Amino acid sequence: MGQWPLVAGQIFNGFSVASLYVLAALGLALSFGLMRVINMAHGEMLMLGGYLAYLTLQVVPGPLGILAAMPVAFLGAAAVGAVLETALIKRLSARPLDTLLATWGVSLILQQAARNIFGAIGVDVRAPEWLNHAYTVPSGLFEGLTIPATRLFILAVAFAVMGALSLLLASTRIGLLVRAVNQDRGMAAAAGINVRAVDLSVFCLGTGIAGLAGVVLALLGPVTPNVGQSYVVPAFLVVVLGGLGSLRGTAIASLIVGLFSALVQILVDVSLAQVLLLLFVIGFIQFRPQGVVAVRSRALDA
Amino acid sequence: MDMGMRKETPLSGGPVTGGMARAAIGRPMALWLALVALAALAPWLVSAYELNLLARFLAMALLAMGLVLVWGQGGVLSLGQGVFFGLGGYAIAMHMKLAALGDGDLPDFMVWSGLDALPWWWVPFKSPLVALLGVVLVPGALAALFSWAVFRRRVGGVYFALITQALALAFATLLISQQPSTGGFNGLTDFQTVMGVELGTPAANHGLYWLTLALVVGVFVALRALMASRYGTLLRAIRDGENRIRFLGYDPTPFKVVAFTIGAVLAGLAGALFTLHAGVVSPALVGVVPSIEMVIWVAVGGRNSLAGAVAGTLAVNLAKDGVSSAFPDLWLYALGLVFVLVVTLLPGGLAGLVADTTATPWGKRLKSLVVGGSK
pLDDT at residue B10 tops 70: no
The pLDDT value recorded for residue A297 is 60
The answer for residues whose C-beta is within 8 angstroms of residue B50's C-beta and 6 or more apart is: none
Classify residue B358 as exposed, middle or buried by CB count within 10 Å of its CB (0-12, 13-18, 19+): middle
**Could you give the angle at the alpha carbon of A40 between the alpha carbons of A36 and A41, nearest 5°?**
125
Of chain B, the percentage scoring pLDDT greater than 90 comes to 58
pLDDT given for residue A7 in this prediction: 83
Cα–Cα distance, B91 to B99 (Å, whole number): 12
Query: In chain A, which residues have their Cβ closer than 8 Å to the Cβ of B6?
Result: 35-36, 93-94, 96, 301
Give the pLDDT of residue B23. 46
**What is the pLDDT, as a whole number, of residue B223?**
97
Look at A132 and A204; give whichever has higher pLDDT: A204
* Four-CA torsion A148, A149, A150, A153, nearest 10 degrees: 140
CA distance B344 to B97: 45
A229, A293, A238, A53: which is closest to A157 by C-alpha?
A53
Q: What is the pLDDT of residue B3?
A: 38
Q: Output B228 or A183, whichever has higher pLDDT.
A: B228
A143 or B42, which is more confident? Answer: B42
Angle of helix A247-267 relative to helix A149-171, nearest 10 degrees, comes to 160
pLDDT at A267 > cutoff 50: yes
Computed over every residue of chain A, the mean pLDDT equals: 88
Q: Could A300 and B5 be called an inter-chain contact, meaning their C-beta atoms sit closer than 8 Å?
A: yes
Asked if A108 and B157 come within 8 Å (Cβ–Cβ), the reply is: no
Rounded to an integer, the average pLDDT of B128-139 is 94
For residue B230, the model assigns a pLDDT of 96
- What does the pLDDT read at residue A299? 56
Average pLDDT over residues A125-132: 81
**CB-nearest partner of A105 from B75, B337, B347:** B337
| Closest CB to A275 among B154, B170, B347 | B170
pLDDT at B360 over 50: yes
Residues counted in chain B: 375
Of the ranges A255-269, B97-111, B361-375, which one carries the lowest mean pLDDT score?
B361-375
pLDDT the model gives residue A171: 92
Mutate which of B332, B340, B345, B346 to test chain A, going by most A C-beta atoms within 10 A? B340
Each residue's pLDDT tens digit, B166-177 = 999 999 999 999
Q: Tell me how close the Cα of B340 comes to any Cα of chain A, in angstroms.
A: 4
* pLDDT number for residue B74: 95
Closest by Cβ to B6, choosing from A88, A93, A112 = A93
Residue numbers in A near B178 (CB within 8 A) = 271
Question: Which pLDDT tens digit goes with each residue over B260-275?
Answer: 999 999 999 999 999 9
Q: What is the pLDDT of residue B4?
A: 39
How many residues does the structure list for chain A? 302
| pLDDT tens string A63-92 | 888 889 999 999 999 999 999 999 999 888
Count Cβ–Cβ pairs < 8 Å, chain A vs chain B.
157
Question: What is the ipTM for the molecules in this complex?
Answer: 0.90
Torsion angle defined by CA atoms of residues A26, A29, A30 and A33, in that order, rounded to the nearest 10 degrees: -170
Nearest Cα residue in chain B from A102: B340
Asked if A268 is an interface residue toward chain B (Cβ–Cβ < 8 A), one would say no
Percent of chain B with pLDDT over 70: 91
Pick left, alpha or beta for residue B279 (phi over 0 → left; psi -120 to 50 → alpha; otherwise beta).
left
Chain B residues inside the 8 Å CB shell of A104: 292, 339
pLDDT digit string, tens, across residues B151-164: 998 888 889 999 99
What is the largest distance, in Å, between two alpha-carbon atoms of chain A? 64
Rg of the Cα trace of chain A? 19
User: Tell me, what's the pLDDT at A295?
Assistant: 65
pLDDT classification of B22: cutoffs 50, 70, 90: very low
When pLDDT is averaged across residues A164-170 and rounded to a whole number, the result is: 92
| A274 vs B38: CA distance, rounded Å | 47
Is beta strand B193-194 parallel, antiparallel or unpaired with respect to B197-198?
A: antiparallel
The verdict on a CB contact (< 8 Å) between A96 and B157 is yes
Interface residue of B5, B7, B185, B293 to substitute, partner A, most A CBs within 10 Å: B5
Q: With an 8 Å Cβ cutoff, is A111 touching chain B?
A: yes
Calculate mean pLDDT across residues A27-49: 91
Cα A180 from Cα A192, distance rounded (Å): 11
Say if the Cβ atoms of B347 and A36 lie within 8 Å. Answer: no
Torsion of CA B209, B210, B215, B220, to 10 degrees: 100
Q: Does any CB of chain B come closer than 8 Å to the CB of residue A95?
A: yes
Nearest by CB to residue A233, choosing from B158, B169, B243, is: B169
Q: Which range among A186-195, A271-280, B192-201, B222-231 shows the weakest confidence by mean pLDDT?
A: B192-201
Residue A196 forms contact with B (CB below 8 Å): no
Model-level pTM?
Answer: 0.90
The reply to whether residue B158 touches residue A286, judged by beta carbons under 8 angstroms, is: no
- Three-state DSSP class for residue B193: strand
pLDDT at res. A245: 66
pLDDT band for position B14 (cuts 50, 70, 90): very low
- Per-residue pLDDT band at B17 (split at 50, 70, 90): very low
Average pLDDT over residues B310-333: 89
CA–CA separation, A239 and A233 (whole Å): 10
Within chain A, how many helices (H) and strands (E) appear?
11, 2
pLDDT at A2: 61
Amino acid B24: pLDDT: 45
Identify which of A92, A233, A271 has the shortest CB distance to residue B165: A233
Instruction: Quote the minimal CA–CA distance from A186 to chain B in Å.
Output: 4
CB contact (8 A) between residue B4 and residue A185: yes
pLDDT number for residue B200:
81
Between CA B203 and CA B315 the distance in angstroms is 27
Of the partner residues A104, A116, A271, the one whose CB lies closest to the CB of residue B177: A271
pLDDT grade, residue A209 (50/70/90)? very high
Distance in Å, alpha carbon of B154 to nearest chain A alpha carbon: 7
> What is the least distance, in Å, from the CA of A237 to any CA of chain B?
7
Lowest-pLDDT choice from A102-116, A135-149, B39-53? A135-149
List, in sequence order, every residue forming a beta bridge with B189; answer none if it has no partner.
B280
Q: How far, in Å, are A53, A189, A294, B112, B336 from residue A113 at the CA level?
A: 17, 38, 39, 39, 11
